[in-house]
Amino acid sequence: MANFEPILLRNRGVTGSTSLKVYESRGGYRAVRKALKMTPDEVVEEVKKANLRGRGGAGFPAGMKWSFLPKDRTRTLLCVNADESEPPTFCNRVLMETDPHQLIEGTIIAAYATKSQIAYIYMRVEFHEQFHIVQRAIDEAYAAGYLGTKIFGTDYSLECYVHRGAGAYVCGEETGLIESLEGKRGWPRIKPPFPAVEGLFRRPTVVNNVETLSCVPHIIERGAAWFTGIGPPHSTGPKLFCISGPVKKPGCYESPMTISVRDLLEREDMGGGMLPGKRAKAVLPGGASMGIISANEFDMKMDFEDPRKFGLLGLGTAAAVVIDDSIDMRVVLRNMARFYGTESCGQCTQCREGTAWMHKMATRIAMGAGRVEDLDVMLQTARNMGMMPGLSICGLPDGATYPIETIIKKFRGELESAIRAQPAGRAKRVLSVLN
Amino acid sequence: MAQPAGERLLKLSRSVKRAMSWQTINRNLPVMDPKAPPVLTEAVREKIRGFFPRYETKRAVLLPALHIVQDALGHISWKAMAEIAALLEIQPSDVIDTISFYTHFWTHSKGKKVIVACRSVSCEVMGGVAVLEELKKRLGIDEHETTADGAYSLVTEECLAGCDHAPCVIINEKLHKRVRAEDVVKLLADHANARLEIPRSDLFDAPAKTAADPASQNSQAEDLVGTTSDVREMRES
Amino acid sequence: MPKITIDNKEIECRAGVPVLQAALEAGWDVPHYCYHPGLSIVASCRLCLMEMMMPNPKTQELSWSPKLVPSCQTPVKDGLICRFGSDTVKHNQRVCMEFFLLNHPLDCPVCDQAGECYLQDYSYKFGNPTSRMVDQKLKNPKKDIGPRTLLYQDRCVMCSRCVRVTDEVSGTFELGIVNRGSRCEIDAFPGKPLDNPLQGNVVDVCPVGAMLDKDFLFKRRVWELRSTSSVCPKCATGCAIHVDHADNKVYRLKPRFNPKVNTWWMCDEGRFGFKYVHDKKRIVKPIVRRGMDHESPDWADVPDIVRFRFSELVKRDGAAKVAAVLSPFLSCEEAWLLCKFIRSLAPTAALVTGLIPYSGEDRKFPIGSNNGTTKFTILKEKCPNRRGIETILKAFGGTTLTFDEFCKKATTGEFSAAWITGGYPEPWVEKETAKIAEKIEFLVVQDIFENELCTGAGMIFPSCGWAEREGSFMNAAGVLQSFERAIAPPDGAKQDGQYLYDIAGYSGLYRATRIRELMSAEVPAMKELYVPPEMPAHAH
Ligand SMILES: Cc1cc2nc3c(=O)[nH]c(=O)nc-3n(C[C@H](O)[C@H](O)[C@H](O)COP(=O)(O)O)c2cc1C
Ligand code: SF4
Ligand code: SF4
Ligand code: FES
Ligand code: FES
């Protein structure tokens, strides 16, 4: 499998790949024409057969999600989740800046399959360049009659708008996204009702990730059988893997879900190994929320199933960051705790208070005023807010639990000795100032 | 990294205590002069109205409207909030509710250029802290502060989704990749450091910044509501 | 009625309610903050989580699902099995209580809510005895959130009930949430403070001491207050209320649940409208006037004096020359006694419905709601018992007049004796009306404050505030509710019911229930006293 022919990234590096002309010259917008000749249900069926699991983090099969829409609906809305805020994930960014038309084509097909009238692309505001690229591509598509009324000369009409976010991680959660689209604070909604039944503006709504939708044209064009032929049965299709940190070639790489973390890190066509003089100590393999693995676990497979065996939450966004051994684990711990502490939306008690408390503890530990018992309190707090499903409205606290729990469990020795190495009485002194 | 922190924490804790102790905020008093002329120009209003057909409710236009207003005025003042509320037929409390949730909206004026430094994991691993410290040193300000001449504000944000180019810094709209501490001086000196070098699509195209609207009178109230990124205590980390 | 099983006990419950409500009604003490039966469900406090039996998707076998589910968000369904008693559920409650207290200033000694605070109660019942947090607490400011309300932000548990009250009940949207995460605060837009006719409910729904009523602030510790069921006399809606009092003083009014009338709410006009009861200018003694003299007779002599003067005039001018004006502030019982008395001396006496005070227009809430969506109405009819008086007069029959008709007739000298009752919190006798006093030879005025009729009155009776009386009111919609006596009348005064009882020829202690029995034998409409269901003991 050394040289996998890229599918989603096939236009990367092609001059003018963001333009309609180049995209079409390379076979673009063929799939959508094919799809428009099928019935919407046939499209759903095909995507279902391809077992396209959502790339946004939860891994829920896209075709299944579409088939949950009520049969008697009159108006459906599609939201494209381009909020990509999970550190250190950037594959949606790469897709949008290299091949916006692929996303638009996928969006049109998904919208057609779900009988949607409007597609909103919810894009995080920090994507300035990407916004202009996508918006220009949309303008081109409108001009070509691929969007708007009666697209491609059929009776089907679709509007597509970009809606820009404003800096909130939790707006990537599908119901947080919906609330944000409605102009409110991005407080995720309680489910049921699920968005498929009652979502944006109380209409049946489908939310899908950019990468998920970018897969759709290829499924339609080449068929579900081809798609399921790629990768293991439970994790079909091509997947984008991100790698960042002190590696030779950080970036976004495409592969079937058969690679291991070590492959991603070391293969020449991927990460290319560590920078000279750096040694990998740990990897956060699936975005921050999934947890950490230590150097002796690098053989973990990056698919939807294997990460669980290593105490992780799942594959997540398949974005790995390498932590080299010059980095103090207390710093990583603080970084994780801070992210969730500042990004919790503040609705649910456990998440609001738990993340903030862990942030405080982790900050103190990183500042050299930790106590060994803080690690236990953190571990318990993490479990209290996230381990048990259903404790909170959305998945953020689960995502906050796993990195904290796995860092403390897998690197407890390092953390403890760092704490023990603090000057005697320091923690006490700092605490007495604090209170 | 863990060394001088104790002293910093000490200083900080005192300042936080002083700043936050038992303040009573009075919400009975208006913070703006009802007779002052509107801050939203007709052009801005027209641009906002242009978004109405896209959504089923007017409220859904709030985020686009806030972006447009912030682009035009540099920040979203109380008065601007009230005017947006009137335009979208919602309550001013709904507007502040939404604004304060998002880190990208500012309720008080910022510098002409806003530097957003990433502090998430990839950037921290790749030396983002050093870049941030250098930025602070060169600008002579702390996080969430603005230089005296109003040229720059400095904020930190979580992952900017540019981790393959860590450490990342965004200045206004432009993402600067692989910024090293030693590049900071050059970066700040570059006049074009905030210019996006690709053809822009006209939606949301920010017009040249106008002078910020006059400071409102109830400065105490102004001080105490901030968007999340403005809250003093966040400097702690 | 669906049957559900909670903690191995099968209970029957009302259809269409959440499991939490069903459990509370069946006596379970399930901690909860964000759920309020009158507000939309947000399921954000995560305190009410329960375990539920769910079928295994593959085998369809029932087993405890690994997920905790919010009981406030789960509707009851026949056969549903859940439990609150398991270790997991209890653990979650303990965890939540620890979280709620992390940043709490623990200033209970100076908190108005102490004693009726669900942070105290739940910490005591479900929480940990110690805190593990050693770091600095977040300090949130106090906010003067409106003319009548203070917000102690640092005590808030972010249940968002207050915000939902302004959104869903008053429809005024003053309150919102600002910031995010642990820095979330409740706030109002400067210059648009919390100021609407229903704002007091915000203080009631706040389960902790964050929202405080300025009127009650630091007045009294709540455990010293006694609570008496009553009915608000300020408008014809007749909200069921609690009168909270101590040492013969009313400190505050709180709404009492009544599904037929006010549900969970009451308006500010009523809430703060009790002050007149403690007015120093009240009439507190009976007064008899003869020419320029006046004296206060002993209460024991009063019945004889009244009877004597009335029967003298009936003998001289005939029974039709007598009238009784029944104020809509009288209770049904008092009105009935007075009618009884007058008609027993003068069988053809005119019975008059007293002046009905109106002010402004009916106000429906949430603002902008219509008949289907209205949750609360403040009526322009500013008296509690117009409908009750009318019902009684109808039952008595004979000559019945409106107040205007009575005034017209009185000015032409058609009455030689009349008993006019008042009890209005505000001055009510207009100049024109005052003139009738000259035309009536023997005038009895029964009122709470001196009015313009008193100068011409032969006898003056002190009327008591409604909190000092007992009886029943029938509201504009025809719901008959009883109210109890909360405090004693001022020294020298007697509650109206008692002296009317004496005058009408009964002896002993006036009990409204006894009169209601007698009355309903004659006035069938008075049989159906509506007693609202009690709020479940652990609901709030
Ligand atoms: C806290 C949180 C943040 C999330 N952020 C994102 C995000 O930034 N981008 C994304 O595509 N999905 C995100 N998700 C996942 C979405 O909720 C949702 O599962 C996804 O958009 C569904 O699309 P998919 O089925 O195509 O994966 C997030 C979920 C949670 C709980
Ligand atoms: S779990 Fe956290 S982020 Fe998600 S809705 Fe609850 S408070 Fe908000
Ligand atoms: S002020 Fe009271 S009612 Fe409002 S959110 Fe806080 S605790 Fe709840
Ligand atoms: S971690 Fe800095 S851009 Fe992602
Ligand atoms: S979550 Fe059920 S009462 Fe708050």
CATH number for position C29: 3.10.20.740
Whether omega for the bond prior to residue A217 falls within 30 degrees of 0, making it cis, is: no
Among A121-125, B10-14, B53-57, C505-509, the range scoring the smallest mean pLDDT is: B10-14
Do B67 and B122 belong to one domain?
no
Q: Which residue has the higher pLDDT, C251 or B230?
A: C251
Do B60 and B91 sit in the same domain of this protein? yes
Q: What are A122-175's pLDDT values in tens digits?
A: 999 999 999 999 999 999 999 999 999 999 999 999 999 999 999 999 999 999
- Cα(C206) to ligand 3 centroid in Å equals 5
Helix or strand (DSSP H, E) at A107: helix A100-113
Distance from CA of C49 to the nearest CA of B (A): 27
DSSP strand pairing (B24-26 vs C142-146): parallel
- B84 part of a folded domain: yes
Residue C119, pLDDT > 60, answer: yes
pLDDT above 70 (res B229): no
Task: Give pLDDT tens digits for A187-218.
Answer: 999 988 999 999 999 999 999 999 999 999 99
Q: List all residues 6 or more positions away from A252 whose beta carbon is below 8 Å from its beta carbon.
A: A9, A90, A91, A94, A240, A241, A242, B164
**What's the fold here for domain A20-228?**
Rossmann fold (3.40.50)
The residues pairing with B155 across neighbouring beta strands, listed in sequence order, are: B116
pLDDT over 90 (residue B92) = yes
Residue C21: nearest ligand to its CA?
5
C12-16 contact pairs (CB < 8 A, 24+)? C13/C76, C14/C76, C15/C76, C16/C75, C16/C76
pLDDT of residue C508: 92
pLDDT band at A334 (very low <50, low <70, confident <90, very high): very high
How far apart CA A129 and CA C153 sit, in angstroms, is 41
> Is the minimum distance from the CB of C46 to ligand 5 under 6 angstroms?
yes
Specify the higher pLDDT residue, C211 or C58: C211
Same domain assignment for residues C148 and C229:
yes
Residue at a domain's end among B168, B189, B210 = B189
What would the pLDDT profile of A44-58 be if each residue is shown by its tens digit?
A: 999 999 999 999 888
pLDDT at B235 over 50: no
C-beta C236 within 6 A of ligand 3: no
| Whether residues C444 and C301 fall in one domain | yes
Choose among C175, C176, C193: nearest Cβ to B28: C193
Smallest CA–CA distance from A348 into chain C, residue? C44
* Contacts of residue C423, Cβ cutoff 8 Å, sequence gap at least 6: C327, C329, C330, C446, C447, C448, C463, C496
Q: Which of B50, B68, B101 is the last residue of a domain?
A: B101
Q: Are residues B97 and B156 in the same domain?
A: no
**C-alpha span between C405 and C469 (Å, rounded):** 29
Q: Which of residues 116-135 of C touch A (CB under 8 A)?
A: 132-135
User: Final residue of a domain: which of C261, C278, C295?
Assistant: C278
Mean of pLDDT values over C477-498: 95
Out of A72-81, A344-353, A418-427, C9-18, least confident range: A418-427
Dist. CA C355–CA A44, nearest whole Å: 72
Residue B34 — pLDDT band, cuts 50, 70, 90? Answer: confident
Note whether A204 contacts C: Cβ–Cβ < 8 A.
Answer: no
**CB burial readout C409-439, b (16+ within 10 A) else e:** bbbeebbbbbbbbbbbbeebbeeebeebbeb
Domain harbouring C319, CATH code: 3.40.50.740
**Residue B160 CA: which ligand 4 atom is closest?**
3
B45 pLDDT more than 90: yes
Same domain, B124 and B151: yes
CB C181 within 8 A of CB A342: yes
C315 by Cβ neighbours in 10 Å (0-12 / 13-18 / 19+) ranks as exposed
Rounded-to-integer distance, Cα A317 and Cα A123, Å: 17
Task: Tell me the one-letter amino acid at C51.
Answer: E
Q: What is the CATH number of the domain that holds B131?
A: 3.40.30.10
C246 and C292 in a common domain: no
- Is residue B205 situated within a structural domain? no
Least confident of A156-160, B10-14, C95-99, C523-527: B10-14
Q: Which residue of C has its CA nearest to A373?
A: C132
Q: Is residue B69 part of a domain?
A: yes
pLDDT score, position B218: 38
| pLDDT for residue C372 | 85
The answer as to whether C539 is a domain residue is: no
* A294 backbone φψ class: left, alpha, beta (φ>0; ψ -120 to 50): beta
Q: Are residues B89 and B151 in the same domain?
A: no
Instruction: Using most ligand atoms within 8 A of CB, pick from C116, C158, C168, C213 the residue to mutate for ligand 3.
Output: C158
Q: How far apart are CA C343 and CA C340, in angstroms?
A: 5
Residue B180 lies in a domain: yes
Q: How many domains does chain B have?
A: 2
A355 touches A348 (CB < 8 A): no
Q: Are C210 and C156 members of one domain?
A: yes
pLDDT tens figures, A399-427: 999 999 999 999 999 999 999 999 888 88
Tell whether the model's pLDDT for residue B205 goes beyond 70.
no
pLDDT at residue number C165: 97
Residue A119: pLDDT over 90:
yes
- B89 and B137 assigned to the same domain: no
pLDDT at A219: 96
Note the pLDDT of residue C130: 85
Q: Which residues of C touch B226 (CB under 8 A)?
A: 179
Q: Is A258 exposed, middle or buried (0-12, 13-18, 19+ CB in 10 A)?
A: middle
Single residue among C240, C258, C278 that ends a domain in this structure = C278
Domain A238-324 has CATH 3.30.70.920: no
pLDDT tens digit string along B102-135?
A: 999 998 888 999 999 999 999 999 999 999 999 9
**8 Å CB contact of A355 and C95:** no
The pLDDT of residue C192 is 93
Spacing, Cα A313 to ligand 5 middle (Å): 26
The alpha carbon of C159 and the centre of ligand 3 are apart by a number of angstroms equal to 5
Asked if B199's CB is within 8 angstroms of A132's CB, the reply is yes
Look at residue B211 and tell me if it is in a domain: no
**In terms of domains, do C361 and C475 share one?**
yes
Residues 106-125 of B with CB under 8 A from A: 116, 119-122, 124-125
The CATH number covering residue C225 comes to 3.30.70.20
**Cβ within 8 Å of residue C254, ≥6 positions away:** C204, C227, C241, C242, C244, C266, C271
Q: Are residues C221 and C304 in the same domain?
A: no
Q: Which two tokens stand for residue B191?
A: 């006049």
> Has residue B196 been placed in a domain?
no
- Report the separation in Å between the CA atom of A396 and the middle of ligand 2, taken as the mean of its atom positions: 6
Do residues B66 and B117 share a domain?
no
Residue B10 pLDDT level (bands cut at 50, 70, 90): low
Same domain, C150 and C242: yes
Q: What is the pLDDT of residue B212?
A: 37
Please indicate, yes or no, whether residues B117 and B185 belong to a single structural domain of this protein: yes
Query: Residue with structure tokens 């509707």?
Result: C75
Residue B207: inside a domain:
no
Do C193 and C318 lie in one domain? The reply is no
C182/A431 CB distance under 8 A: no
- On whether both B81 and B131 belong to a single domain, the answer is no
The verdict on B117 and B168 lying in the same domain is yes
Q: Which of B81, B101, B121 is the last residue of a domain?
A: B101
How high is the pLDDT of residue A154? 94
Q: List C-alpha distances in Å: A52 to A38, A67, A248, B119, C161.
A: 19, 13, 31, 33, 41
Q: Is the pLDDT of residue B206 over 50?
A: no
C70 to chain A, any CB pair closer than 8 A? The answer is: yes
> Which atom number of ligand 1 is nearest to the Cα of residue A65?
25
| Residues B211-220, mean pLDDT to the nearest whole number | 37
pLDDT above 80 (res B15): no
Residues C437 and C304 in one domain: yes
Domain ranges of chain A: 20-228, 238-324, 329-434
Question: Model pTM greater than 0.90?
Answer: yes
- Fold exhibited by the domain A329-434: de novo design (two linked rop proteins) (1.20.1440)
Asked if residue C175 and residue C54 are part of one domain, the reply reads: no
| Residue C38 predicted with pLDDT over 80 | yes
> Per the CB < 8 Å rule, is B96 touching C142?
no
Residues C298 and C255 in one domain: no
Measured in angstroms, the CA of C146 and the nearest CA of chain A are apart by 24
Let me know the angle formed at the C-alpha of C211 by C243 and C183, rounded to the nearest 5 degrees: 165
What are the pLDDT digits (tens) for C219-278?
999 999 999 999 999 999 999 999 999 999 999 999 999 999 999 999 999 999 999 999
Is position C126 within any domain? no
Q: Helix A100-113 to helix A128-143 angle, to the nearest 10 degrees?
A: 60
Separation of alpha carbons C442 and C419, rounded Å: 8
Average pLDDT across chain B, whole number: 80
Question: How near does any CA of chain A get to the CA of C187, in Å?
Answer: 14
Question: For the residues of C416-467, what is the DSSP string, one character each?
Answer: SEEEEE---SS----HHHHTHHHH-SEEEEEESB--TTGGG-SEEEE---GG
Give the span between the Cα atoms of A254 and A98, in whole angstroms: 14
Do residues C252 and C305 both lie within one domain? no
Domain with B122, as residue range(s), is 113-189
- Examine residue C245 and state whether it is found in any structural domain, yes or no: yes
Per-residue confidence (pLDDT) for residue A238, from 0 to 100: 93
Which residues form the domain of C76? 3-97
- Residue A1, pLDDT > 70, answer no
Confidence band (pLDDT; 50, 70, 90) for C293? confident
